[in-house]
Amino acid sequence: MDTKITRALISVSDKAGLPEFAAALAARGVAILSTGGTARALRAAGLEVTDVSAVTGFPEMLDGRVKTLHPAVHGGILARRDLPEHMAAIAEAGILGIGLVCVNLYPFAATTARPDCTLDDAVENIDIGGPAMVRSAAKNHADVTVVVDPADYASVLEEMDGNEGCTGLELRRRLAVKAFRHTGAYDAMVSQYLGARLDSGTKYPEELAVSANLDRICRYGENPHQSAAFYVMHGITEPCVSQAQVLHGKELSFNNLADANAAIEAVKEFDEAPAAVIVKHMNPCGVAMRPTLSEAFRLAREADPVSAFGGILAVNRPMDAETASVITEKNSFFEVIAAPSYEPEAYRILTGAKAWSANVRILELGSLEGWRGKASGVDMRSVVGGLLVQDRDIVALGADDLTCVTERQPTDEEVAELLFAWRIVRHVKSNAIVFSRELRLVGVGAGQMNRVQSVRLAVGQAGALAQGAVMASDAFFPFNDGPQAAADAGIRAIIQPGGSKRDQETIELCNASGIAMVYTGRRHFRH
Query: Please, which residues bridge with residue 154 across strands?
Result: none
Tell me how far apart the alpha carbons of residues 300 and 295 are, in angstroms, rounded to a whole number.
8
Confidence band of 188 (pLDDT split at 50, 70, 90): confident
- How confident is the prediction for the chain on average, in pLDDT? 90
Q: In CATH, what number is assigned to the domain containing residue 491?
A: 3.40.140.20
Is 292 domain-assigned? yes
Is 250 domain-assigned? yes
Cα torsion 219, 223, 228, 232: sign: negative
Specify the pLDDT at position 410: 97
Tell me how far apart the alpha carbons of residues 247 and 243 are, in angstroms, rounded to a whole number.
12
Three-state secondary structure of 217-245: ECCCCCCCCCCCEEEEECCCCCCCCCCCE
Tally of domains in the chain: 3
Q: Which helix (H) or strand (E) holds 300?
A: helix 293-303
Question: Residues 293, 354: one domain?
Answer: yes
Find the domain containing 305 and state its range. 239-369
Query: Please, which residues bridge with residue 493 across strands?
Result: 470, 516
Q: Can you tell me the mean pLDDT for 265-286?
A: 96
Q: In CATH, what number is assigned to the domain containing residue 184?
A: 3.40.50.1380
Q: What is the pTM of this model?
A: 0.87
Q: What is the pLDDT of residues 42-67, one digit of tens each?
A: 999 888 888 877 777 667 666 666 66
Q: Is a pLDDT exceeding 80 seen at residue 30?
A: yes
Tell me how far apart the alpha carbons of residues 9 and 146 are, in angstroms, rounded to a whole number.
10
Q: Is a pLDDT exceeding 80 seen at residue 33?
A: yes
The closest of 436, 461, 462, 457 to 447, measured between CA atoms, is 457
Q: Is a pLDDT exceeding 80 seen at residue 68?
A: no
Tell me how far apart the alpha carbons of residues 303 and 158 are, in angstroms, rounded to a whole number.
59
Q: Which residues belong to the active site? A: 139, 281
Is 218 domain-assigned? no
Range list of H helices, 400-521:
412-425, 451-462, 481-489, 503-513
**Three-state SS at 342:** strand
Q: Which helix (H) or strand (E) holds 496?
A: strand 493-496
Is 323 domain-assigned? yes
CA distances from 130 to 138, 318, 338, 351 (A): 12, 44, 40, 46
CA distances from 397 to 196, 377, 418, 495 (A): 26, 18, 11, 12
Rg for the chain (alpha carbons), in Å?
A: 30
> What is the DSSP code (8-state) at residue 486?
H
Confidence band of 84 (pLDDT split at 50, 70, 90): confident
Specify the pLDDT at position 418: 98
Tell me how far apart the alpha carbons of residues 272 and 270 are, in angstroms, rounded to a whole number.
6
Is 390 domain-assigned? no
Question: Residues 485, 345: one domain?
Answer: no
Question: Residues 409, 361: one domain?
Answer: no
Percent over 70 (pLDDT), the chain:
97
Cβ neighbours for 30, distance < 8 A, ≥ 6 positions apart: 5, 6, 7, 8, 99, 100
Which residue did the predictor score with more confidence, 514 or 132?
A: 514
Question: Residues 43, 179: one domain?
Answer: yes
Tell me how far apart the alpha carbons of residues 87 and 64 are, in angstroms, rounded to a whole number.
30
Is 376 domain-assigned? no
Cβ neighbours for 469, distance < 8 A, ≥ 6 positions apart: 435, 436, 437, 442, 443, 462, 490, 491, 492
Question: Residues 336, 424: one domain?
Answer: no
